[in-house]
């Protein structure tokens, strides 16, 4: 049975384990983050929706999965006097896992599909850049070089195909920008390079455009342009988010 198919299910109160509210002693004994699950159990529900929220919060708190499940078990034993149901364990474990994986992806330095730097890594490099410029003027000597994959026409254009094309674009970008610049995937169809804004930047961008044209084959040529940096770290974060969404 799927996760979303069971969230709304309620068990029929059958016997003393399904009171309408928690006693003061039960309420005080509920483990942290499992209070809503306890309330739901007392009302006759299995608390599946509350279990999803609890799993997400426990993961964000850094609570290990074993401890999270132990808190769930303690909650069920306190309120119902029994072990948690399979569905209750499943939804909490899945929510905990999804939240943990999402956090790891955000923190990862490498995009798993392309091998390029991740957007989070590029964001960190930008923050470092702004911290090293107390006057808030890294926009005067740095810029972003953007490469955008054009949609395929008459051919497969799924996420895997786009990722492979982005990977090839990244390889070419690393050839042109080979002095330790960050080359990152920042969205489903874009690669960004954090580069110095010097007298060579225009020539390097033209070379990148030429080399990408030669690698396009039958595909539409990627679009390449220079995006200036704003004056503050906060605005740079907003710009990066916007570029990733567009």
Whether the pLDDT of residue 154 is over 60: the answer is no
Whether the pLDDT of residue 1 is over 60: the answer is no
In sequence order, what E strands does 124-213 have?
142-148, 182-187, 190-196
C-alpha 139/C-alpha 132 separation (Å) is 12
Confidence of residue 8 (pLDDT cuts 50, 70, 90): very low
Confidence of residue 217 (pLDDT cuts 50, 70, 90): low
Q: Is there a contact between 92 and 51 (Cβ–Cβ < 8 Å)?
A: yes
Whether the pLDDT of residue 18 is over 50: the answer is no
pLDDT at 132: 81
Average pLDDT, integer, range 149-156:
63
pLDDT at 36: 95
Structural domains in the chain? 3-107 (no CATH), 119-245 (3.30.70.270)
C-alpha 165/C-alpha 155 separation (Å) is 13
pLDDT digits (tens, 9 = 90+) for 159-214: 778 888 899 999 999 999 998 899 999 988 899 999 999 999 999 999 999 999 87
Q: What is the mean pLDDT of the chain?
A: 83
Q: Is there a contact between 30 and 75 (Cβ–Cβ < 8 Å)?
A: yes
Whether the pLDDT of residue 129 is over 80: the answer is yes
Top pLDDT among 153 and 25 is at: 25
pTM: 0.56
Whether the pLDDT of residue 2 is over 60: the answer is no
pLDDT at 169: 92
Confidence of residue 233 (pLDDT cuts 50, 70, 90): confident
Whether the pLDDT of residue 71 is over 50: the answer is yes
pLDDT digits (tens, 9 = 90+) for 42-54: 999 999 999 999 9
Q: Which three-class secondary structure state does DSSP give residue 27?
A: helix
pLDDT at 218: 52
Q: Which three-class secondary structure state does DSSP give residue 83?
A: coil
pLDDT at 10: 39
Strands 142-148 and 190-196: antiparallel
Sign of the CA dihedral 177, 178, 181, 185?
A: positive
């Amino acid at each position: 049975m799927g996760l979303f198919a069971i969230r709304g299910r309620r068990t029929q109160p059958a016997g003393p384990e399904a009171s309408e509210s928690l006693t003061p002693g039960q309420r005080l004994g509920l483990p942290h983050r499992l209070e809503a699950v306890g309330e739901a159990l007392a009302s006759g529900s299995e608390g599946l929706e509350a279990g999803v929220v609890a799993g997400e919060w426990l993961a964000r708190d850094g609570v290990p999965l074993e401890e999270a499940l132990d808190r769930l078990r303690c909650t069920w034993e306190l309120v119902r006097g029994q072990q948690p149901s399979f569905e209750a364990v499943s939804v909490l474990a899945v929510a905990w896992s999804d939240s943990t994986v999402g956090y790891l992806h955000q923190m990862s330095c490498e995009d798993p599909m392309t091998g390029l730097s991740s957007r989070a890594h590029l964001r960190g490099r930008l923050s470092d850049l702004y911290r090293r410029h107390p006057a808030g003027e890294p926009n005067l000597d740095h810029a972003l070089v953007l490469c955008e994959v054009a949609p395929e026409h008459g051919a497969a254009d799924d996420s895997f195909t786009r990722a492979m094309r982005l990977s090839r674009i990244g390889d070419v970008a690393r050839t042109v920008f080979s002095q330790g610049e960050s080359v990152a995937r920042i969205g489903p169809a874009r690669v960004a390079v954090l580069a110095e804004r010097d007298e060579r930047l225009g020539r390097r961008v033209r070379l990148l455009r030429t080399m990408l044209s030669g690698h396009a084959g039958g595909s539409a040529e990627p679009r390449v342009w220079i995006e200036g940096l704003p004056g503050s770290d906060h605005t740079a974060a907003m710009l990066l988010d916007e570029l990733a969404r567009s």
